[in-house]
Structure 1
Amino acid sequence: MPKDFRATTLERAIGRSLASWRNERGFSLTEAGVRVGFSSAKLSTMENAVQPSTPVDIMALGYVYRVPAAQWQEVVLQAQYAERRRSKPRRPELFDPTADFAHLVFEATSLRAFTTDLVPAVFQLADYSNAVARADDPARAAVVDRVRESGAERLKDKDPLAVQAVFPEAVLRQVVGGPRVMKAQLLHLMELSEDPSVSLRIVPRGVGAYPAMGSPFTLLGFPHRQHDDVVYFESFIRGAYVEDQGLVDLCARRFAGLRQVALGDGESLELIAEAAAEL
């Protein structure tokens, strides 16, 4: 067993598979151990991921338990992958999507953004984004500024970035940075909504559940045929790109569903104006 072994979630899933095979056959740990030639203690540590399960041991258990070949082969592949990951030295991240995102925004011709808590980054004013950074992670302020500046610059281009944004009404009511900052941000949204390249829609409070609820994402499209659409997700831990086109298409369908349940552009503008007037 590797020194100071700490099971990954994959290795714990492998252990659950082994326990499930045994339980489906109605074998006790002792009986199964006798059949395969393991001690019951070893079998228990494998099932509970206290030690890694080797591909050879998994194959032996699959044979004894008469598990269909496709099932035990899948678990063997999982164990081989887990073993490779464990034996590889940890390397620093070679590519940081969070730092790169501003560049993709600048290169894009279309941007579809769904946010759940904040005004989309490309629409944020400096005071608003600084207030968010101060409350969350001041070190990220420069990254957010680059995204905001890239978006603002592209919106002013002769061939402007086409932006469609959807977010819930709660974003309008969250007074980020205080009433003065928030009112300026809402007035900025009203100004942006007059731009023909911008569509801004609000999901009203009364709509109930809606597509992609709780899962913000940004979908970027590009002018070159060789550059496929990309989805960007971000949490406070890290950002990530999704480039598998099946998953990108799934996000595009979710976004289309969001636009359907949201208020139209005109009604959304009225709601933004109402929220601004209350500050």
Structure 2
Amino acid sequence: MPKDFRATALERAIGRQLAGWRDERELSLAEAGQRVGFSSAKLSMMENAVQPSAPLDIMALGYVYKVPTPEWQAVVSRAQYAEQVRTRALGATPNFDPAADFANLVYEATVLRVFTTDLVPAVFQLAEYTDAAMQTDDPVRTARLAMVREAWSSRLKDRDPLVVHAVFPEAVLRQVVGGPRVMKAQLLHLMEVSEHPVVRVQVVPHGAGAYPAMGSPFTLLGFPRRQHNDVAYLETFIKGEYVEDPGLTEQCAQRFASLQEVALGAGESLELIAEAAAEL
């Protein structure tokens, strides 16, 4: 393993695929390791992306698990690509869609810093709000947003729940998405979730004028393992993109800290959300 290995999002997706193969066959780490000739520790590190998964090891697992050849070949191709790009800037990744993978990272993260510019953050959206925002003509994106929401909801019951810090401009509260009934329900839900001890919601008021990262929404995810760097996620209606360069993710962290300074405090933000809901 490289001395200071840092798994990319692609390598982590590969690890989840390997774990999925084993789970489908109802094998323990020890049973699977014995069949393929790996220690259970090595297999665990591959599945959790604590070490890179070598293409030959993936081939061996595919053979032992009796995975269809095209399926394991696709994963081997991704591993080969990951091996090539780990130490340089990421380019176009074959057969890997960050927008489809994003909910998995939300499930694995410990801290989520979200800045939106025109919508309530995906983790807090009600289904009717999401449907209205997507205009019901983008079922794939709607389903992915639902997965993100469900990933956060499932983490609320964890012993180590996902911490969410969200910042957005007041305009998000005033944009009546889905009509007054849907929007009011969404704002009331936002008030409810903001009272969770692991959630902090802040609103940038109209009077703040220009503010950091204006017009550039992003999500910054932090993770518990040392081998997993922060990941920034950017999305348009065309595609999603991961940014994993530590220098760039640090810029996102700095922008977010500046946004929190400009925004109202949690209490004042809650009052503003309540005011917007009362007006509907």
For normalisation by structure 1, the TM-score amounts to 0.66
- Find out whether 1:197 has 2:198 as its counterpart: yes
Partner of 1:126: 127
- Find out whether 1:222 has 2:223 as its counterpart: yes
CA distance, structure 1, for counterparts of residue 203 and residue 179 of structure 2? 21
Cα deviation for residue 141 of structure 1 reads 1.2
Partner of 1:151: 152
* Partner AA of 1:225 in structure 2: R
Partner of 1:257: 258
Q: Give runs of aligned pairs for residues 155-170 of structure 1, distance below 5 A.
A: 155-170=156-171
Partner of 2:248: 247
Structure 1 residues 205 and 135: CA distance shift in structure 2, 3 A: farther
CA distance, structure 2, for counterparts of residue 129 and residue 140 of structure 1? 10
> Which ranges of 4 or more aligned residues in structure 1 deviate by more than 4 Å?
none
- Find out whether 1:142 has 2:143 as its counterpart: yes
Q: What is the CA deviation profile of residues 114-156 of structure 1, one whole-angstrom value per residue up to 9, with x for unaligned ones?
A: 0000000001111111111225623321111111111111133
CA distance, structure 1, for counterparts of residue 253 and residue 232 of structure 2? 9
Partner of 2:277: 276
* Partner AA of 1:177 in structure 2: G
- Find out whether 1:267 has 2:268 as its counterpart: yes
SS in 2 for 1:223: coil
Partner of 1:29: none
Q: Give runs of aligned pairs for residues 60-139 of structure 1, distance below 5 A.
A: 93-134=94-135, 137-139=138-140
CA distance, structure 2, for counterparts of residue 238 and residue 232 of structure 1? 11
SS in 2 for 1:134: coil
| Percent identity over paired residues | 71
Structure 1 residues 136 and 120: CA distance shift in structure 2, 3 A: farther
* Partner AA of 2:220 in structure 1: L
CA distance, structure 2, for counterparts of residue 139 and residue 160 of structure 1? 27
* Partner AA of 2:100 in structure 1: A
CA distance, structure 1, for counterparts of residue 205 and residue 126 of structure 2? 23
CA distance, structure 2, for counterparts of residue 136 and residue 248 of structure 1? 32
Cα deviation for residue 92 of structure 1 reads 8.7
Cα deviation for residue 172 of structure 1 reads 0.2
* Partner AA of 1:178 in structure 2: G
Cα deviation for residue 273 of structure 1 reads 0.2
Equivalent pairs counted in the alignment come to 189
SS in 2 for 1:187: helix
The higher radius of gyration belongs to 1
Partner of 1:85: none
CA distance, structure 2, for counterparts of residue 153 and residue 198 of structure 1? 14
Partner of 1:237: 238
CA distance, structure 1, for counterparts of residue 246 and residue 137 of structure 2? 32
Please, which runs of 5 or more residues in structure 1 have no aligned partner?
1-90
Partner of 2:81: none
Kindly report the root-mean-square deviation, in angstroms, between the aligned alpha carbons of the 2 structures.
1.4
